[in-house]
Amino acid sequence: MREVSRGLAAALAALLAMAGVAAAGLALLGAGGVGPTAAVVALAVGGSVDVSATPAGVLPIALHGDLHVIPLGVSLAGAVVLGWLLLRRDGELLVRGAVAVPAFAAGPAGIAALATGKLPETTGGLQGCVSAGPRIPLPGRLDAGFSVAAGPAVLGAAILALAVVGVCWLMTRFPSVATGFRALRWPVAGLAAVGTTAAGAFGGAAAAGGVLLLLPQLASGAVLLGLGVPWTVEPALPCVPALGQFTPGLWVAGGLLLVSVLVVRRGRPLRRAAAVSAVAGGVALVMALLSRVSADISVTAFSFSVPVLDVRLTANPLLALAAGALAGFAGSLLAGAISVSSRAWKR
């Protein structure tokens, strides 16, 4: 019974941590409130926000839109708190995890009910960001609101909780995995603190709020660009820069992989290189999938629906997998060579 209560407490604490980070980020952005906070938490577990707007008047015209983006800063906060609490006690991890997974998944069902609200009223028209690019005239004032579907959020929360329990189990079975995660905790915390502070100092409170919510996305984008994986905007929009036209060089991601490999030096060189290659490729694949952003808007009139905007920011997941695996393999071999050379110089 004690392990059951600990599993429930871990799930509740993780949801509260996510709500706290979401509320702090939105407050810095000047968009606080129960509804927006609940919507961001739902997005953080894989849900989507549905937006609808109706012009004031008698014309049967309505706007409908969907936003799919995962604020990984909120997701990471929940995952870290959940994993930390599940690992605080020795033994019975699977019991605590079996309780925490459904409890954590049930949270977004109630959160989705709170994730409703009104958007600021607008007047005039909708300016398209496409090469057809005209202003779509909409008469009068727009009454807009947002909501979140419970189903995808509950499913995403269950997957997130299962992933956390799986990582915790690996940490208990394989000490090297636990060592790697412990070595990363302070650099990750330092990156979050420095990134948020720098954004606030140079860009103001709104920039700090955006970084607090989306810092893992920014880091993932930098790493994937460093691996040579371009980010593309579909369709190509003249008002959005093409991130696939430049890369900061392989040294960015290569340096990160080299540092991470130097933390764990056990195992034969080729076997270790193969293991690091698989892990690095898997991590790059997950980063590419979780960092996607999509938004679409359509106009409905007289039972006809016309798409107005459909934008997707993506990185090729297969290319990310291949680039991450290749960089991990090469980085591991390079780390082994550096280790051997350093021992030779000490003789």
* pTM of the model as a whole: 0.82
Single residue among 127, 155, 173 that ends a domain in this structure: 173
Instruction: Indicate whether 210 and 92 sit together in one domain.
Output: no
Q: Are residues 157 and 209 in the same domain?
A: no
Query: Is residue 336 domain-shared with residue 239, that is, in the same domain?
Result: yes
| SS3 state at 313 | strand
In a domain, 194, yes or no: no
Residue at which a domain ends, from 131, 150, 173:
173
212: its two tokens: 């607090």
Helix (H, G, I), strand (E, B) or coil at 127: strand
333 and 224 in a common domain? yes
In a domain, 253, yes or no: yes
Pairing of the two strands 61-69 and 117-118: unpaired
Task: Tell me which of 121, 153, 173 is where a domain ends.
Answer: 173
19 with 116, same domain? Answer: yes
Identify whether residues 240 and 153 lie together within a single domain.
no
Average pLDDT over residues 27-48: 90
Distance of alpha carbon 49 from alpha carbon 66, whole angstroms: 6
Euclidean distance between CA atoms 272 and 264, whole angstroms: 9
Cis-peptide, bond into residue 241, ω within 30° of zero: no
Domain that holds residue 109: 1-173
Query: Please, which residues bridge with residue 126 across strands?
Result: 136
Kind and range of the H or E element at 272? helix 269-290
Structure tokens at 64: 């409908």
Asked if the model's pLDDT at residue 301 lies above 80, the reply is no
- 295: in domain: no
Q: What is the pLDDT of residue 50?
A: 87
Residues 210, 164 share a domain: no
143-196 pLDDT, tens digit per residue, is 778 888 889 999 999 999 999 999 999 888 887 777 777 777 777 788 888 888
Q: Could you tell me if 25 and 95 lie in one domain? A: yes
Identify whether residues 139 and 230 lie together within a single domain: no
Q: What is the pLDDT of residue 32?
A: 80
Q: What is the DSSP letter of 8?
A: H
- Residue 20 phi, psi (nearest 5): -65, -45
Q: Which residues contact 301 (CB under 8 A, 6 or more apart)?
A: 59, 60, 61, 62
> What is the spatial distance between Cα 148 and Cα 51, in angstroms, rounded to a whole number?
9
Statement to judge: residues 28 and 75 lie in one domain: yes
Domain co-membership, 8 together with 151: yes
- As a whole number of angstroms, the distance between CA 110 and CA 78 comes to 17
**Does residue 185 lie in a domain region?**
no
**Residue whose pair of structure tokens reads 């980070």 in the numeric block:** 21
Q: What is the pLDDT of residues 216-267, one digit of tens each?
A: 888 888 788 877 788 887 765 555 555 554 444 455 555 555 555 555 555 5
In angstroms, the CA 114 to CA 263 distance is: 44
Question: What does the mean pLDDT of the chain come to?
Answer: 79
Beta-carbon contacts of 68 under 8 Å, excluding residues fewer than 6 positions away, are 48, 292, 293, 294, 295
305 — phi, psi (to 5°)? -115, 130
Given this model, what pLDDT does residue 51 score?
85
Asked if 333 and 217 sit in the same domain, the reply is yes
- 163 alpha-carbon distance from chain centroid: 14
pLDDT at 333: 73
Number of structural domains (the chain) is 2
Q: At residue 54, what are phi and psi to the nearest 5 degrees?
A: -130, 125
pLDDT digits (tens, 9 = 90+) for 39-73: 999 999 988 888 887 776 656 778 788 888 999 99
In a 13 Å sphere around the CA of 230, the CA atoms on its Cβ side amount to 9
Question: Going by C-beta distance under 8 Å and a sequence separation of 6 or more, which residues neighbour residue 231?
Answer: 221, 224, 225, 243, 244, 313, 314, 315
